[in-house]
Structure 1
Amino acid sequence: MKLFYFLIAFLALASSITFAYDPSPLQDFCVAINDTKTGVFVNGKFCKDPKLANAEDFFLQGLGPGNTSNPLGSKVSAVSVNEILGLNTLGISLARIDFAPKGLNPPHTHPRGTEILVVVEGTLYVGFVTSNQNNNTLFTKVLNKGDVFVFPIGLIHFQLNVGYTDAVAIAGLSSQNPGVITIANAVFGSKPPISLEVLTKAFQVEENVIDYLQKQFWYNNN
């Protein structure tokens, strides 16, 4: 029986390694730099000579409140490899999400990372939608201070402040640069715009509806 559990654990570990999205580091760190003359290119970034690294490469001062005075009433403050260069190749990042009362972090996906979210203040209504394979099932939950929820990689998800006070959440993501695709912005705010023929057939609506949506200002809260 012990051998059975060992084999299961080994297969799970092997699977996680095989299907990992960020590269496993082969050194202590690989601080990202933009200097192509002295760096080595690794997965989208050049790496500083480890002997030249310092504490500032792994530090971000003051992850303070984001400005929620916008049409969505929310602000995502990312801490990825673009903000902390020392995250390069480490396969992890985070974000602070601030919400005004009734503020929304609109439906979006992270193509390269699973997200785990903890509510620091307030009450959030959160959810994600499964793929077509799983009948586009909606999973939702109301989260209060201290509650945690997971959004699987690549699936559309959202967070809404259902309280009457400001709310704050911290999200951890399983990629140094998980990316974000906000659904409405991508579909109706693309440049150049997606053709009316495509969108009217996709959404089964008249051209004037699509035309109206494409003329809206799609705000980016990231």
Structure 2
Amino acid sequence: MKMSMRTFLFLSLLTAVAFTTEASVVDFCVADPSLPNGPAGFSCKNPSQVVAKDFFYSLAAKGNTDNVFRSMVTPAFAPVFAGVNGLGISFARVDIEVRGVVPFHTHPGASEIILVTQGIIKVGFVASSDNRVYIQTLRNGDIFVFPQGLLHFQINIGKIPAVVYASFGSDNPRIQIVDSAWFQNDLPTPIVANTTLLAIREVKRLKKLFGGTN
């Protein structure tokens, strides 16, 4: 039987609504860290024990930027912000001192969009298909998006500390910093040197700086 385009679209819409309805059998799933969690996220808190404060989190305080990068990301992800568990969204505050940097990193689980509320920063990401780099200077009120899983960075190029707020398309997007992945672990120094083309002495220096071993 030949199906018309109108019928096909109607059935597609009906299927989408059905799946949406099935997925929305509960209003929310506030995370309960005391219960087991798995790939689907944290277990749900008993609804009778959920309170308004579970849906509240403050990012008013400046993060501690006393580190080698002179920056700090303060996340409001599901592990600390119970109310976003299962909702597919989360937030973070980023503080970057003058000449500070948020080094190359990725969020394996989500795309990210940022809003600058103070300062001037330079941002960019690297496409995985051809290693093309996209770089932009942002000021107060500007936004920029980083596609999911791609390496990206932020640098404060202004004369005052920068404040950036980031929104993610996941309740737990996770973060992997390239420098930490290479040097803040027990990966043998010769392997790091061979795969990065860095001298053994430089690898040892960076492992010491980041707290790595071996």
- Structure 1 residues 205 and 71, CA gap change in structure 2 (3 angstroms): closer
Residue 124 of structure 1 aligns with an amino acid whose one-letter code is I
Give the number of the structure whose alpha-carbon radius of gyration is greater. Answer: 2
Residue 130 of structure 2 aligns with an amino acid whose one-letter code is N
2:189 equivalent to 1:177 = no
Q: Partners of 2:64 and 2:99 in 1: how far apart?
A: 14
Partners of 2:119 and 2:139 within 8 A in 1: yes
Q: Partners of 2:78 and 2:146 in 1: how far apart?
A: 21
Q: Partners of 1:51 and 1:205 in 2: how far apart?
A: 56
- Superposed, 1:132-151 pairs within 5 Å as 134-151=129-146
Deviation at 1:103, TM superposition (A): 1.2
Residue 91 of structure 2 aligns with an amino acid whose one-letter code is L
Match of 2:27 in 1: 28
3-state SS in 2 of match to 1:116: strand
- Structure 1 residues 32 and 25, CA gap change in structure 2 (3 angstroms): farther
3-state SS in 1 of match to 2:116: strand
Deviation at 1:113, TM superposition (A): 1.0
- Superposed, 1:55-204 pairs within 5 Å as 55-61=52-58, 63-131=60-128, 134-190=129-185, 192=186, 194-204=187-197
Identical amino acids, percent of aligned pairs: 37
Q: Partners of 1:142 and 1:28 in 2: how far apart?
A: 40
- Structure 1 residues 34 and 211, CA gap change in structure 2 (3 angstroms): closer
Partners of 2:41 and 2:86 within 8 A in 1: no
Partners of 1:185 and 1:218 within 8 A in 2: no
5+ unaligned residues in a row in structure 1: which ranges? 18-23
2:207 equivalent to 1:214 = yes
How much is the aligned-residue C-alpha RMSD, in angstroms? Answer: 2.7
Q: Partners of 2:61 and 2:91 in 1: how far apart?
A: 13
Deviation at 1:27, TM superposition (A): 1.6
- Structure 1 residues 178 and 46, CA gap change in structure 2 (3 angstroms): same
Deviation at 1:95, TM superposition (A): 0.5
Deviates more, 1:72-81 or 1:204-213: 204-213
Q: Report the number of matched residues.
A: 198
5+ unaligned residues in a row in structure 2: which ranges? none
Partners of 2:123 and 2:153 within 8 A in 1: yes
Partners of 2:97 and 2:162 within 8 A in 1: yes
Residue 184 of structure 2 aligns with an amino acid whose one-letter code is G
Deviation at 1:161, TM superposition (A): 0.4
- Structure 1 residues 40 and 94, CA gap change in structure 2 (3 angstroms): closer
- Superposed, 1:1-12 pairs within 5 Å as none
Deviates more, 1:62-71 or 1:180-189: 62-71
Residue 181 of structure 1 aligns with an amino acid whose one-letter code is Q
Partners of 2:183 and 2:210 within 8 A in 1: no
Match of 1:21 in 2: none
